[in-house]
Structure 1
Amino acid sequence: MDGGDGRRSPDDAEAPRGVDLARRALEQARAAAKERGVAVGRGGASPRRGAPRTPRSSRRRWSGPGADDRDPQTFASLAAGLVRSRGWSEEIAAGAVLGRWNSLVGADIADHAQPESLVGGELVVRAESTAWASQLRTLQRQILAKIAAGVGHGVVTKLTVRGPAAPSWKHGERTVRGRGPRDTYG
């Protein structure tokens, strides 16, 4: 260190700094690799032992102007590659339909109908009343077109519209067969 007069102590002159420290670390790493039996050259450890080496003139040592696997990737492309490799495409598409329901079909339809499931291309939608269920059945082609435009073709191939879930009128052990109560429940 400095004693205030600009001179260094003898201890500081012997301590490696910067480049010298990096060289020493590299030499130690090469020695450790030699002990393990890994061939070490200028390019580093060879990933394929015993494989014929390509001449240096034909190998690319830099990324260059073209795209390369070593170039930085966007998060979206990495996530898309992961989805493709794991086979999650159908689940992701189903999540997009169910999660973006309001923006796909519009606020008017979304206020009166909610998606229940999307399995094998069949979307099941529960309407809040029988009148809305009938209306959605007549708008089925337009709804399928809106969904296809929003998330892609082939994600939803069939639309099943169900009316509201009616309450059970069975109370007790005995029941009488018949048509039961008639009401639209909404």
Structure 2
Amino acid sequence: MRTAIRLALPLVAAAAALSLTACGDEDASSDGGSGETAADEGGTDADTDAESQDSGQDGEGGSGDGAEAGTDGSAAPSVDDLMGNWFVDPADPGRSHRIVVEGPDEVSFIESLEAEGDLCNRGVYADGTLTFAPEDCLQQGAEPWPDRSATLVLNEDGTLHVTWESGLEEDYTFSESEWGTVA
């Protein structure tokens, strides 16, 4: 119970902060947007730094539960394998894409904590696939996060490989802290 509350509080704070930045910005959500993100335009430092991070989940194996194998022979992770906070760059959690897993139907995606950072809640994870209903995603800024589904594979090195429906591929690193790496 403590873990659920501890993990939920940052999400509530992020959602509140993000919703406040959208006040009076109704034109941005109805302009049609191009759907491109910074990652589509060459990525960010967070994208390249994630590959050099190690997972922080030593010794926490999952059930595997017969899920399909990934391209490098890794299996789709179980919900137990995914529980917690995953960052593209845990050293810069404010600008990093983040996935928070609290259960099979309690998954959140935070694009970033900056003005353009969209937030998707109530995601569902099953058999290596993460999905969000369009009504469960809150757009911030002018550019909407284009994806509502992704394929997840837990790599042998402990990183989480995410392939979004748009084709964007990212590697996420597990962090014990809901705020990323504590220096």
Which TM bucket (shorter chain)? under 0.3
More strand by share: 2
Q: State TM-score, norm by structure 2.
A: 0.24
User: Structure 1 length as normaliser, TM-score?
Assistant: 0.24
Which gives a bigger RCO, structure 1 or 2 (Cα 8 Å, sep 6+)?
A: 2
Q: Which has the larger radius of gyration?
A: 1
Higher helix share: 1
